[in-house]
Structure 1
Amino acid sequence: MAAPWYARVATTAGRPAVLGATLIMSMPGEYHVARFAGWTDPWAYGMPFSLSAYAGIAAVVAATRPKGARGRFSATVGAAFAIVLALAAQVVAHLVTTGHMDHDQAWLIAVTSMVPPAVLAHLLHLAATPTPATERVPAPAPAPAPAVSVERTEQPPAPVVPVVPPKPEQAPALPAEEQQAIEPPVPAPIAYRDPRCAAIRPLYDGGYRPVTSEMRAALVDAGYGRVGDSTIREKIRAEVEQHEPHLKQLPPAIGRTA
């Protein structure tokens, strides 16, 4: 059963609102930790953006790469590390602000100073790691055909068969050019930019436009893992319908929602 409309609206509109609220609430603590470590304005404002962008990029890479792909484990560890850093920054900032902790400590300054170069190094590692679309397994070389020995035998010449013109009721064979004009050309296969499009294209063969839950199940069966709803609708399905615009005009299945 489809969720009620107010639940879908709350889910769609609530996620960006919660994301914005949490980023705004986290920025003061991360800014103060940077000031404790010795950064002055305006450089201290870079700490909230570094931690927030790092956590978001690592989480997206970890969620979008299929299981077993290169860089997925590193992105998962980086996302967990970013969450730990963000949590630690909030805890330290509030402990110092409330007087429960002294910010002038060598270990705190040293750990905070290592955050920007560590974030930069891991982001460059993720950028240099190839995505599943570029990981190609070379096709095995074809095995050489076994040598076949052919023995030539003397054969008598074939008898000459007289050419008989076609009967009136038999239509002569058409030239190759006209035969090709009658037969419709076979369309070339579509080369998708995102290989996940090939996993949901067969769903259109049922005569209706597939919904998000069907496309998500097809992607999981194809080994791509769980993909976000917005990515399924706005990227994967959009590319399929960009190549074949008539698919977008198909009616939705009865009892299903997009």
Structure 2
Amino acid sequence: MEGVITAVAGVLTVVLTAAAFWLSYEHLQEVAAQHGMADAVARSWAWPATVDLFIVIGELLILRASLAHRVDWWAIGLVTAGDGASIALNVAGVGQDANVLNYVVAAVPPVAALLAFGALMRQVHAYLARRTSTGVALPPSGVNAPSTPVDAAPAAVPSEPVQAAEPAPDLPSAALRIAPAPTPVTVASTLDEARSTAVDLCLPVIYPNRVDQLVRALYGTDFTQPSTARMTQAMAALGLGASDSTARTARGRVKAREPHLAAFPTAIAG
């Protein structure tokens, strides 16, 4: 049901946007034809685009900035200028001695075009944000148990020593005693030590920013989210300053790049 409502609202928004822009555009064409472009039909129809397209461009730039989680004041200025000019020209085209309701009728299409197109961009933003949040997430590297179990049993060692095919002739017995017997390698202890190191449990990721790389390294020491004091101390030790805001911003970038780090327990001091 929610999907049906969203689809119907989207279709109605598109229809309203198209109708409002068409009414505003046609009225502006009539204004242009009445003021010097009566004999140039193509120019009179192209002239309203110099006003209404500012609204479309500004709204698209606002959508792009919203998806990037920032504010584009230049885009907001374009929308304001385009819609203000459209409303003013539509109202001015009615004439000086017209009825008040005539001015209202002329002002409704550009206002409706602005609101309808803004609502359309809002629905597009919600759809794109939902697609981004439900995308396939990459598996965390090194935090969970390995997907392929490792056989921790020691390698098979022959029960009987390997006999040489032929004894080496004329070798003194002392020389034979010099060579030590081969020592079997215990695979279980080696694997246990490898799994217990911070490198496997928290695989390193290279960051171009030195502060980000330092903060990322702190996650692999005691497997807790580093506190602000701990980050600033490490930064000061490497000559990277001791700004709390810089440390917290770097920690946010690291967790945004590797979301699995958010599962680490928080240190006592944040």
TM-score, structure 1 as length reference: 0.35
The structure that is helix-richer by fraction is 2
TM-score, structure 2 as length reference: 0.34
Larger Rg: 2
Structure showing greater relative contact order (alpha-carbon pairs closer than 8 Å, 6 or more residues apart): 1
